[in-house]
Amino acid sequence: MTAAPLLKAEDLRVVFRVDDHEVRALDGVDIDVAPAEIHGVVGESGCGKTTLGRALLRLVPLRSGTVAIGGVDITALRGRSLRRARAQMQMIFQSPWSSLNPRMPVGRAIGEAARAHGRSRGRDVEVEVAELLELVGLDADVAARYPDAFSGGQRQRIAIARALAVRPRFIVADEAIASLDVSVGEQIVELLLELRERLGLAYLFISHDLSAVERLSERVTVMYLGTVVERTSTETLFRDPAHPYTVALLAAAPGRYPREVRRRYVLEGDPPSPIDPPPGCRFWPRCPVGPLHDPTRSVCRSVTPELVDLGGGHHVACHFPREVRLPDPAVR
């Protein structure tokens, strides 16, 4: 990225204590998001995507690392200054139910968010709420209704309106279309694009829906077990994935490749536990070109691969990148 990043995080480490164990949910993650960029994040369940989003918003304690927004380091902020910094960033979730109070009219929920951040007072709030509802494609007169009067897609629009009430510059959309029907999810994707155009918003778009990621994102980050294994432009990622894990992820996605291809590249087993990740490359126990398939490749078991630029900003953390190749998508 040539433009100065809107958001930049380095060496993020987040550790959860569970019983007597430490879960290394993020284990040294770097990421940057340019102004108005849509940055996709993909990877199997449990790889740390939600934790990454929460870490960027400073909603979870960091063991190490830094987060900066607009060039301002917010890692050490507390109290009022942290709240002010946080207002530049918002998160929307898979289930808008969980973030909307069923006993509060939606207009009031949106208005309280606007007021809590000192955006507007009194009668102005009503105007502001009407504008926010219009922005997400709803009529202003729905403000008096309660959440259960709305469909899933409408509720997601309301959750987005409430997130926008604080005028953020950066939004983490965490599986924001996962619980919606395909066509409704597509409308939300359209809305996110339109809001980017109108407001210059940047997004971290976390999704297991690879076609939505492909359609929306400028760049994609692929995560595996708390680390970044690949990051590049969306076009390059889908045309020329270099990490064997990314190849497996693309091959497994529904509808991308014929069944023979899917079967050939399928991964055995589940990801290992982040409580006790394997040494060296975290992917080696499942890797189709790793030491289990070629015993001379003991390096994978002992040396953690760095995320390096193969050229043109195509970053990969693998000792043997580009060995597993998918068939040309043109012939799929």
Ligand X SMILES: Nc1ncnc2c1ncn2[C@@H]1O[C@H](COP(=O)(O)OP(=O)(O)O)[C@@H](O)[C@H]1O
Judged by CB, which is closer to ligand X: 93, or 320?
A: 93
Does the footprint of ligand X cover residue 282 (CB under 6 A)?
no
Name the one range near ligand X by CB under 6 A: 44-52, 191-199, 258-266, 287-295: 44-52
Cα 325 off chain centre by: 26
**Residue 193 corresponds to which tokens in the numbers above?**
């694009």
Judged by CB, which is closer to ligand X: 18, or 330?
A: 18
- Residue 168 makes CB contacts below 8 A (sequence gap 6+) with 87, 88, 89, 90, 201
**In 3D, which of 218, 216, 221, 241 has the Cα closest to residue 231?**
221
Task: By CB under 6 A, name the one of 22, 35, 36, 46 that touches ligand X.
Answer: 46
Does the footprint of ligand X cover residue 22 (CB under 6 A)?
no
Judged by CB, which is closer to ligand X: 21, or 121?
A: 21
- Going through 140-286 in order, the beta strands assigned E by DSSP cover 170-174, 202-206, 219-224, 227-233
User: Are the CB atoms for 253 and 207 separated by under 8 Å?
Assistant: no
Partner from ligand X, Mg ion, none binding residue 41, C-beta < 5-8 Å depending on class: none
Name the one range near ligand X by CB under 6 A: 18-26, 101-109, 194-202, 259-267: 18-26
Cα–Cα dist 269/279, whole Å: 18
Does the footprint of ligand X cover residue 76 (CB under 6 A)?
no
Judged by CB, which is closer to Mg ion: 47, or 251?
A: 47
Does the footprint of ligand X cover residue 16 (CB under 6 A)?
yes
**Separation of first and last alpha carbons in the chain:** 31
> What's 56-116 look like in SS3?
HCCCCCCCEEEEEECCEECCCCCHHHHHHHHCCEEEECCCHHHHCCCCCCHHHHHHHHHHH
CB of 190 to ligand X, least distance (A): 24
Amino acid at 292: L
Task: By CB under 6 A, name the one of 7, 25, 106, 204 that touches ligand X.
Answer: 25
Q: What is the contact surface with Mg ion in residues (CB under 5 A)?
A: 50
- Going through 113-260 in order, the beta strands assigned E by DSSP cover 170-174, 202-206, 219-224, 227-233
Cα–Cα dist 303/287, whole Å: 15
Q: In which region does residue 197 sit, left (phi positive, over 0), alpha (psi from -120 to 50) or beta (all else)?
A: alpha
CB of 72 to ligand X, least distance (A): 25
Task: By CB under 6 A, name the one of 9, 40, 51, 153 that touches ligand X.
Answer: 51
Cα–Cα dist 124/115, whole Å: 10
CB of 244 to ligand X, least distance (A): 19
Cα–Cα dist 19/238, whole Å: 40
Does the footprint of ligand X cover residue 23 (CB under 6 A)?
yes
Judged by CB, which is closer to ligand X: 25, or 69?
A: 25
Number of chain residues interacting with ligand X (CB under 6 A): 13
Judged by CB, which is closer to ligand X: 27, or 37?
A: 27
Does the footprint of ligand X cover residue 177 (CB under 6 A)?
no
Name the one range near ligand X by CB under 6 A: 16-24, 104-112, 136-144, 191-199: 16-24
CB of 52 to Mg ion, least distance (A): 9
Judged by CB, which is closer to Mg ion: 50, or 236?
A: 50
Name the one range near ligand X by CB under 6 A: 4-12, 31-39, 48-56, 236-244: 48-56
User: Are the CB atoms for 323 and 330 separated by under 8 Å?
Assistant: no
The contact set with ligand X (CB under 6 A) reads 16, 18, 23, 25, 43, 45-51, 274
